[in-house]
Chains A and B, each alone.
Chain A
Amino acid sequence: MMNSPPNKPYNVMVYLDRTCWNEKSNKLDEYSIQLISQARMLADGKNGVVSCLHFGVFSKEFTTECACVGADRLVSVVWQKANTANHEIPIGQICAKLKTILPDIVIFPTTPEAKEIAARMAVQFQTGLTADCTELSYDAEGFLLQTRPAFGGNLMASIICKKHLPQMASIRKNTFFKTSFHKGKTCSHLSIDLSPGSSNRIIRLESESYETFSLQNAKIIIGIGMGIQKPENIGFLERLAKKMGGVLGATRSVVEAGWLGPEYQIGQTGQSVAPDLYVACGISGSAQHVMGMQRSKRIIAINRDPHAPIFHVSDYGIIGDAVETIQGLLDSEDNLQ
């Protein structure tokens, strides 16, 4: 159990991992902007400060950008490695140093590495950690209310951590959009140097990059569910997507069946999307899928079952076979492939 010393400003810390800086555009990536903005909103609610935690050095551009989005302080943690390939992060030492600052809140992205770091830090602080939140706010008593989907997305659970600090949570991408820009804002810098690490328990070997397929920017998505009957039918939906200038998306069942790769998955454990148009083909509408596409501006659903839950969340519904309906749309084309 830890208590914040009095007269210390409320400190909302954001962990920024390796993926936070977009090398190509030389800017903070969209997700990091969302996280810092979220922290800014929380800090403002308590007349507090926003700190950004990063393992490594902040460049001048990085510093300016973080300040511009609302950061008051940057905390960089550096340590020498006996071998550059040593990958193990000295979380014990890092937390020991952070205990002297003791943030009130720490928020994390939901990348695999950040979630791993968050979990290890939760043990070192012996505090609570809530994963994959879609909303953060304060409850009536001023504790961080961490809201996340539960039971496959059928329910929303709100969690608090009352007696331990820091209150920690990881936040999903594309759930917080209220960014604010503070032109000309500066921020202070705190550098934490750790003693050289000799751990060689995890060695980083040569990595490869792969093409990330993101549905995030698609304006039109044709969603595929098990109702299309067989993977061979994907071709028709692909043609429709192409004709409409859209892309394909998939439910968890379709991905688990191996019909499409996990990069197409939309839902609680897949991507969250917000296209202008989402056409749900043969999708029943399970809560965990709906929570990934409910922010679509318009939803059209095609399903043989008139009682399919998807129709409760659609603007337009067609009761019928999805593949036949799509074939009908394609056949009306003047130029067929």
Chain B
Amino acid sequence: MKILVFIKQVPDSSKVQLDPIHHTLRRDRCNPIINPYDLNALEYALSIKDCDPSVQVGVLCMGPITAEREMRLCLAMGADECILLNDSKFAGSDTLASSFILASAVRSLGSIPEVLVFGKQSIDGDTGQVGPEVAEWLDLPVVTCCDKVSTDQQAKALYVERKNEGITEKFKLVLPCVISVTSKLNIPRFPTLQERMLSFHKKIRILGNKELKIGEEMIGLEGSPTWVRKVEPVNFQKKCAFITSQDLKNILKTEGLLK
């Protein structure tokens, strides 16, 4: 069985700070990391491989060449192979163009993997769209936001669970299929120093549009129906009155909020 995990390199947005005067992003504080939910996706694949070493775990990532570092981490965690889709022509792609590029890369593999796994959403785009869009391009069934996944290789099916507005939905998905997973699914493993060093023996394949041969009207800015018209800093400010805890006590008591 082959499981393909989709990984994205993202800035660590929890550490993003705005320059308070110019309202611009302080990029010096933004280290690139693997999108956290993608680590849950990779952990799912690796845990299946733990039980059955014949399972092949591949990682696919579209990103800048610096994403090789993130690929290396995936190999250290236990992935069998990593493919990085890198081409200046891919830059500026919105979710539709990105998902088309990823789907084209999957088709170029020769055979469709049994399970395609995504993290629920990326912490920079936060759309959660690429997974189901790739599924639609490839005409594969998809269930997003899975909290639980159980894999039945014999029956060629996945049993998944997700929470949806007051109902815990449970589905059986026939393979090949696409899922996206939440952080509730598992706790991703951390590679040892030895595993990190051994990962340098594994190769990372880099593919560009020369190899994928996608029509340029489908990629980059040209292939993106949406584009960002403007970006503005969030302008929400209040004038804060600093008080003591005694003041707070008095305020709350006076208002009857605290007896």
Residues of B within 8 Å of A315, CB to CB, are 238-241
Chain B CB within 8 A of A157 CB: yes
- The answer to whether B167 touches A207 (Cβ under 8 A) is yes
Q: Is the CB of B231 within 8 A of A156?
A: yes
Residue ID in chain B nearest A199 by CB atoms: B141
Residues A317 and B236 in contact, CB atoms below 8 Å apart: no
A-B pairs with beta carbons under 8 A, tally: 235
CA distance A87 to B25 in the complex (A): 43
Q: Given A128-B225, A325-B248, A312–B167 Cβ distance below 8 Å?
A: no
* B86 in contact (CB, < 8 A): no
Across the interface, A156 reaches (CB within 8 A) one of B136, B166, B183, B232, namely: B232
In the complex, residue of chain A having the shortest beta-carbon distance to the beta carbon of B170: A205
Q: Which of A106-151 contact B (CB under 8 A)?
A: 111-113, 115-116, 118-120, 122-124, 126-132, 139, 145-146, 149-151
Given A154-B234, A315-B241, decide whether A204 and B171 contact each other with a Cβ distance below 8 A.
Answer: yes
CB atoms of B225 and A294 under 8 A apart = no
Interface assignment of A190: CB less than 8 Å from any CB of chain B: no
In the complex, what residue of chain B is closest to A124 when comparing beta carbons? B136
| 3 smallest beta-carbon distances between A and B, as pairs | A128-B225, A128-B226, A152-B13
Interface size on A, residues (CB 8 A): 92
Interface 0/1 of A299-311, CB less than 8 Å to B: 1110000000001
Q: Which residues of A sit under 8 angstroms from B171, Cβ to Cβ?
A: 87, 202-205
Residues of B within 8 A of A151 (CB): 11, 13, 16, 25, 124
Given A129-B129, A159-B228, A201-B141, are A91 and B136 also a contact pair (CB < 8 Å)?
yes
Residue of A nearest to B224 (CB): A128
User: With an 8 A cutoff between CB atoms, is A318 at the interface?
Assistant: yes
Interface residues in B84-114 (C-beta closer than 8 Å to A)? 94-96, 99
CA distance in complex: A72, B128 (Å): 31
Check if A185 is an interface residue, CB within 8 A of chain B: no
Chain B 167-183 residues near chain A, CB threshold 8 A: 167-174, 177, 183
Q: B54 at the A/B interface (Cβ < 8 Å)?
A: no
A85 and B184 alpha carbons, distance in the complex (Å): 26
Alpha-carbon distance between A159 and B228 when the two chains are bound, in angstroms: 4
Q: Is A74 an interface residue (CB 8 A)?
A: no
Q: Is the CB of B126 within 8 A of A269?
A: yes
B137–A123 contact, CB under 8 A?
yes
- CB contact list, B217-243 vs A, under 8 A: 224-234, 236-243
Which chain A residues border B192 with CB–CB below 8 Å? Answer: none
